[in-house]
A and B are shown apart, each in its own frame.
Chain A
Amino acid sequence: MSTFDKSTLIRMLKQAEANIDTEHEALSKLDALTGDGDHGITIQRTMNAVGKALDDGMDKPLADLLKAVAMKVMMCDGGSTSPLLGSYFLGLASAATADELTAAQTAALFQAGLDNFSKTSKAKLGDKTMMDALLPATEALVQALHDGGDIPSAFSAASAAAAQGAEKTKDYVAKLGRARTMGQRAIGHYDPGAVSISHIFRGFAEAVN
Chain B
Amino acid sequence: MKKFINDPTHLTAELLEGMAMAYPQKIKLESEKLVCRAKPKSADKVALVTLGGSGHEPALQGWVGTGMLDISVVGDIFAAPGPPKVLEAFQKVKREAGILLVTLNHAGDVMSADMAKQMAEAEGITVKEIITTEEIRPSADEEGRGLGGCMLVYKIAGAAAEKGMTLDDVYRIGDKVNKNMATIAVLSEIATHPSTGGECGEMGEQEMEICAGQHGEGGGVRMDMKSSKDTAELLAGKVVEKLGLTKGDEILLMVNGSGKTTLMEMLITFRDAAKFFEAKGIKVVRGETGEFLTVQEAAGYQLIALKFDAETKALWDAPCDTPYYTVA
A and B interact physically: yes
Q: What's the nearest-Cβ distance from chain A to residue B9, in Å?
A: 9
| Bound form: Cα–Cα A120–B79 in Å | 17
- Knowing A28-B198, A32-B198, A36-B200, the reply to whether A77 touches B217 (Cβ < 8 A) is no
Q: Assess the B196–A41 pair: CB atoms within 8 A.
A: yes
Contact A181 B219 (CB under 8 A): yes
Number of residues of chain B lying within 8 A (CB) of chain A: 39
Interface of B is mostly: loop
Establish whether residues B219 and A185, one from each chain, have CB atoms under 8 Å apart when the complex forms.
Answer: yes
Interface size on A, residues (CB 8 A): 38
Residue of A nearest to B220 (CB): A181
Point out the residue from A33, A79, A183 that lies within 8 Å of B108, measured CB to CB: A79
Whole-angstrom distance between the Cβ of A115 and the nearest chain B Cβ: 16
Which residues of A (18-36) have their CB < 8 Å from a CB of B? Answer: 28-29, 32-36
- B75 CB-CB contact with A under 8 Å: yes
A-B contact count (CB 8 A): 125
1/0 per residue B111-137: CB within 8 Å of A? 110110000000000000000000001
Residue ID in chain A nearest B85 by CB atoms: A75
- Asked if residues A37 and B107 are in contact (CB atoms below 8 Å), the reply is no
Q: Are B145 and A35 in contact (CB under 8 A)?
A: no
Given known A-B contacts A178-B107, A181-B137, A181-B213, A77 and B80 have beta carbons under 8 A apart: yes
Residues of A within 8 A of B211 (CB): 181
The answer for the CA separation of A39 and B286 in the assembled complex, in Å, is 40
Complex Cα gap A32–B78 (Å): 13
A35 contacts across to B, CB distance below 8 A: 215, 217
A29 to B193, CA, bound (A): 11
The CB with the most chain B CB atoms within 10 A, among A28, A80, A182, is that of: A80
Residue among B112, B198, B218 making CB contact with A83, cutoff 8 Å: B112
Does B76 have its Cβ within 8 Å of any Cβ on chain A? yes
Q: Which residues of B contact A11 (CB under 8 A)?
A: none
B82 CB contacts on chain A under 8 angstroms:
73-78, 82-83, 86
Q: With A36-B217, A37-B200, A182-B219 in contact, do A177 and B79 touch (Cβ < 8 Å)? A: no
- Assuming A74-B84, A181-B217, what are 12 further A-B pairs, CB within 8 angstroms? A29-B198, A36-B193, A36-B200, A36-B215, A38-B78, A74-B82, A74-B115, A82-B112, A83-B111, A179-B217, A180-B219, A181-B211
Q: 9 closest Cβ contacts across the A-B interface?
A: A181-B219, A79-B108, A36-B215, A77-B75, A80-B108, A77-B76, A79-B79, A83-B111, A82-B82
